[in-house]
Structures are given as structure tokens and as C-alpha cells.
Amino acid sequence: MKSRHCCACNTQLAQRQFESAILELQPEYFEFSGESDEEVIDWLKDLFGSNKPAMAQSGAAAAVAAKARRVADKAKAGIQAEKVCWIQTVLNKAGGEKLVADGVYGPLTREATRRFQSRNGLTVDGIVGPRTETALIQAALNQIARASILPVNGVMDAKTRQEIQRFQARNNLAQDGVVGPKTRAAMVVALGGRCIVRSSRPSGQQGSTFTSNGPKPIGCDLRKLESLTSQCRNNAIQAGINCLRQFGLGVSEAAGILTPLVELAVATSEIPGIDLITAAIAGIAAAVLATEEIVEAAGCVQSVLMNLVSCQEKARQLSGC
């Protein structure tokens, strides 16, 4: 009897330890829907390693899997899709991957993360923890600079923070050395990517790039705000296309340059820096435009984006947001 009692205690203790480990995971990495208990356990074992206490308790599989699903359902509400889009973009542009930048941290993104970790001497677990995130920042800054200005080692040292601040300064961002949503959004554009984040919206409405689901002021008319913001966005894209067509660019080329810049301005309510605009134009039109034309075109586009930010501010005022 004593032996059975101790065994039960050990099993419960092991399960609690494992559940605590589950809770430490970032919510982006939960994806248990539609999988059997055994598949969930295999997924968790792959993540944590087979040395976790509860994994030795074969009878606890169903309970642990059920707990994992409950934690996942609760955590999914806090998923930072824009951050996952940034991860996917960096893996694509700096790591040669071919991921869809949809903000979903699925099996393909996890495997791409593992390959990135393996190449750069990081713990290969498929989780973007602090070291892997720092390494992604370093890889992104190297790719943007088109030079190896930083070692990709996952160490947030003074040099890495200095390069982050330089990037922020060039893009009219707060120079705090912290890579938050606005800095990530600017990096995505600088890398030539575009993230479509699926946000919670009424049926029939599509998600937009870098959307925010934060609390809105009392009296805020969200439908009116979205309608007015959409008008501001569409007008800016059309005005920017007309601007770039003056320099001989086609509609598709101009739209490819304008759309991510407009989405960045909408997401941050700030005007992208002239260096970022110039890089976006050069990335597509360097073969057909002279340097002087690229600089002139960038000035034209920046004026369009200034009008867009003003339009957004008016939209917020009219909608009470």
C-alpha cells in the first residue's frame, strides 16, 4: 500500500512539474488542435526533451495532453502574430527559407527555426527564446546592411544594441535599443517582406498587415475607423503609384514598393524614414532608375506617407478613437 501511495505521489509531482514547464512556453508555439494524445506528447517531448519527469510516467499521457490543450486554448488569445510574421520574414530573407509570412507558428516555421538554430550554434529546440530572438535580430540587421556587421550568436551585447539604435534612428523610431512591434515592422519592410496578420474581425472582413487588438477608448466607432483608415490607405497607395509612375515604373512595380511602406505607416502611425523608403525603391527599381531618380522618387513617396499619417489622425478624431 505504501509503495502504491508513493508511486501515485511521484506521478502527481511529475505531472505538476511538466505542467509548469508547459506554462513557461510562449503562446505562439501551441498548436495541439486535431492531434491525438500521443501526438501531443511526442510534440512536447520533442520540445522539452525526454528527460522531463512526467515523460517517464506513461499513464499520465492523457492527463498531460489534456492539460496542454487547456493551456493552449487559454494562451492563444495572446498570440503576437506580428512577431511570428517578423520571425518568418527574417528566416526567409536571412536564412533562405520559403515560409508563408502568415503569423502562424506552425510545423514548417518551427523546423525552419531549428535549422537557423543549428547553423548558428544555438540550442536546437524550435522555440524562439531570448537567445534565438537576439540571433534573429542580428541576422536581420546583417541582411539589411548587406554586410556581416554583427556575429549571429544570440548575445545582446553593446554592439548589437548600438546597431538596433542606428536602425531605429534611420527609421524615425524611438532609439531605445529594444526590438518591439514598431521596430519589427520596420525591419520587415527593410527586408523586403510583407506580413499579413490574421486578426479577429467581423465575418467577411480581411485581416490587414500588422494589426493591433489593443483596448479602444470608450465611444470609439471601430467600424467607422476601419472604413476611414481603409480610405486613407487606398488613397495613399494610389497617390504613391501615380508618383512613381512619373519615373517610368509600372503599376505592379510601384504597388510592390508602396504597399509595405503604407502598411508600416498605418501600423505605427509614423512616417517611415527616408533611408527605408529609398531602400524599398532601390530594391525593386535599381536596374531602371538612376541614383538621383531614386532619391527624388523617395522624396515624393515620403510626402505621400506624410499625408497618410495626417489622414489617419483625422480618421481617429472623426471616429472617436
* Helix residue ranges per DSSP H, 171-221: 181-190
104 falls within a domain: yes
- Residue 219: its pLDDT value, please? 61
- Residue 271: its pLDDT value, please? 81
Q: In degrees rounded to 5, what are phi and psi of residue 210?
A: 55, 50
In this structure, the answer to whether residues 8 and 68 fall within a common structural domain is yes
Residue 161, pLDDT above cutoff 90 = yes
> What secondary structure letter does DSSP report for 320?
T
In this structure, the answer to whether residues 161 and 252 fall within a common structural domain is no
201 falls within a domain: no
In this structure, the answer to whether residues 70 and 99 fall within a common structural domain is no
* pLDDT tens by residue, 217-261: 446 777 888 888 888 988 998 999 998 988 888 888 888 888 888
More confident residue, 193 or 34: 193
In this structure, the answer to whether residues 301 and 236 fall within a common structural domain is yes
Q: For residue 247, give its domain range.
A: 222-319
- Residue 85: its pLDDT value, please? 86
- Residue 28: its pLDDT value, please? 43
121 falls within a domain: yes
Straight-line distance from the first to the last Cα atom of the chain, in angstroms, rounded to the nearest whole number: 66
In this structure, the answer to whether residues 55 and 89 fall within a common structural domain is no
Sign for the CA dihedral angle at 93, 98, 102, 104 comes to: negative
206 falls within a domain: no
- Residue 119: its pLDDT value, please? 94
What are the distances in angstroms from CA 79 to CA 139, 212, 285? 23, 11, 36
- Which of 104, 101, 281, 262 shows the shortest CA–CA distance to 193? 101
Residue with cell 539604435: 165
pLDDT confidence band for 31 (50 / 70 / 90): low
% of the chain exceeding 90 in pLDDT: 17
In this structure, the answer to whether residues 117 and 74 fall within a common structural domain is no
pLDDT confidence band for 185 (50 / 70 / 90): confident
In this structure, the answer to whether residues 98 and 15 fall within a common structural domain is no
Residues 6+ apart with CB under 8 A from 34: none
pLDDT confidence band for 6 (50 / 70 / 90): very low
195 falls within a domain: no
Candidate from 66-70, 184-188, 196-200, 311-315 with smallest mean pLDDT: 196-200
- What average pLDDT does range 136-157 have in this prediction? 93
pLDDT confidence band for 15 (50 / 70 / 90): low
Residue 70, pLDDT above cutoff 80 = no
More confident residue, 140 or 106: 140
In this structure, the answer to whether residues 173 and 90 fall within a common structural domain is yes
- What average pLDDT does range 106-132 have in this prediction? 88
The count of domains in the chain is: 3
- What average pLDDT does range 98-114 have in this prediction? 85
Gap between the Cα atoms of 273 and 261, Å rounded: 10
More confident residue, 4 or 90: 90
More confident residue, 55 or 71: 71
- What average pLDDT does range 140-168 have in this prediction? 93
- Which of 108, 89, 100 shows the shortest CA–CA distance to 190? 89
- Residue 151: its pLDDT value, please? 95
> Domain end: 168, 190, 212, which one?
190
> Domain end: 78, 104, 135, which one?
78
205 falls within a domain: no
Residue 48, pLDDT above cutoff 90 = no
Around 268, how many Cα atoms within 13 Å sit in the side-chain half-sphere?
A: 27
Q: Hey, what long-range contacts does 253-257 have (CB within 8 A, 24 or more apart)? A: 253/284, 253/285, 256/284, 257/281, 257/283, 257/284, 257/285, 257/301
> Domain end: 39, 55, 78, which one?
78
Q: In degrees rounded to 5, what are phi and psi of residue 101?
A: -80, 75
- Residue 62: its pLDDT value, please? 64
In this structure, the answer to whether residues 134 and 61 fall within a common structural domain is no
Q: Which three cell numbers stand for residue 50?
A: 525526454
209 falls within a domain: no
What are the distances in angstroms from CA 18 to CA 34, 49, 72, 103? 22, 11, 14, 27
101 falls within a domain: yes
In this structure, the answer to whether residues 67 and 111 fall within a common structural domain is no
Residue 56, pLDDT above cutoff 80 = no
What are the distances in angstroms from CA 96 to CA 48, 88, 200, 246, 285? 27, 11, 31, 34, 22
Give the count of beta carbons closer than 10 Å to the beta carbon of residue 209.
Answer: 23
pLDDT confidence band for 203 (50 / 70 / 90): very low
